[in-house]
Amino acid sequence: MDKKIKIGLIGLGTVGSGVFKTLKNFDNIEIVKIAVKNINKPRNIEGLDASLLTADPYEIVNNPEIDIIAELIGRLNPAFDLIAKAIENGKHIVTANKELLAKRGEELFRIAEKYNKVILYEAAIAGGIPIIMPIKTILAGNKINHIEAIVNGTTNYILTKMDVEGAQYSDVLKEAQKLGYAEADPTGDVEGFDAAYKIATLASITFNKRINIENVYREGITKIRAEDMKAANDLGYKIKLIASAYLNTNGQADVRVHPMLVSKKSTLAHIDYVTNAVSLSGYPVGSITLSGPGAGEFPTASSVVGDILAIAAELKISDYILPMMRCRHSENAVMTDISETTNKYYISINAKNNKGVIGKIGTICADNDISLASIVQRCVSDDNTADITVITELVQEKNMQNAIKLIEQDGNKVNSLIRVQVQK
């Protein structure tokens, strides 16, 4: 019988439990040790031998028998130090840690190449959706220059419920927290951090240029209102939190995360609840979209186990395994600041219902080189204020922001400013 591949797991939470349960089905894999925070915590996991557990992750990192380590604890610390030491000790790495990759991935990939080890991270981008390996293998012959993605299930769930039920953000967030779709502290999701980490890493792979996470524009969903959802629907759109990356012909990268009015004709408009999707555009493939479960015990475990098995299959074949999956770029992308981008906008304005108010808004826009696709007064409230909805043509972000200041200085309130999807 062939020698079994020895695995160490760091973390036995939702994803770690799914990985353990899945790996039990493979005769060529042996889980040697599992690091957990609390060794005495009750765990309803069938077939789990308590002797496998340790509270010291370095017991795994320093174990000479272990071939592959799966890091499933998240965050920067102690994950970076554990992985770096494991690589130095001759271990290959599988991780689902999007924050680590976005912030310190460059360092880890350099260490991995120095010690001739690989780091695979399919689960770090879109849960159970295979995206990294297809980009590096099947799609390797393409020049992909545009990504639009929904990669955070929590925010997509909240926005879908707001859309379907006509509910306000705060009410849906509370419901999502009760159901376990949102954390007690949802900041990482609802403020766009999670999606930003993912799009930074995905763009780095796709564009073959390093994306500095500090230069990724990020805006969350906390300001989206039920009124915006209704207006978007009336205009032929859905509101989604979109992680996007665009590489222009000069090689500059525009990478960002923010709410967006997405045309109902777009595939992404119909990605609902906790489902994720990634749309890629390039030559010669054209446009493709991959969608599926973006989180959860078994969807994410599917990607982790796939990476483990990919490494395991190569260990006895080559001294330099999986060359196509290794980091091959060292150039830092020149990033486009959000103020220099060109976008279409949806604007919701609450204004005094005075004569000429629409004309004044139109004049401010014209003075800032903003052309309007439409401007509609939707209703007048009891306090004699009117809700005005504006859709612009393409305009520079800095001009739009200046116009917003002037509109508010004129005594109006800008309730919402949301960018509108533009086909590249």
Catalytic residue numbers read 198
Residue whose C-alpha is closest to residue 92's, from 8, 176, 210: 8
Cα distances from 333 to residues 136, 208, 213, 324, in angstroms, run 19, 9, 11, 21
State whether the Cα torsion 263-195-148-392 is positive or negative: positive
- With a CB cutoff of 8 Å and minimum separation 6, the contacts of 147 are 199, 202, 203, 206, 243, 244, 245, 246, 278, 279, 280, 281
Torsions phi, psi of 375, nearest 5?
Answer: -145, 120
Distance between CA atoms of residues 125 and 408, nearest Å: 39
Distance between CA atoms of residues 377 and 334, nearest Å: 41
Torsions phi, psi of 185, nearest 5?
Answer: -110, 100
Q: Is 106 exposed, middle or buried (0-12, 13-18, 19+ CB in 10 A)?
A: middle
Residue whose C-alpha is closest to residue 419's, from 250, 251, 279, 244: 244
Q: How far is C-alpha 166 from the geometric centre of its chain's CA atoms?
A: 25
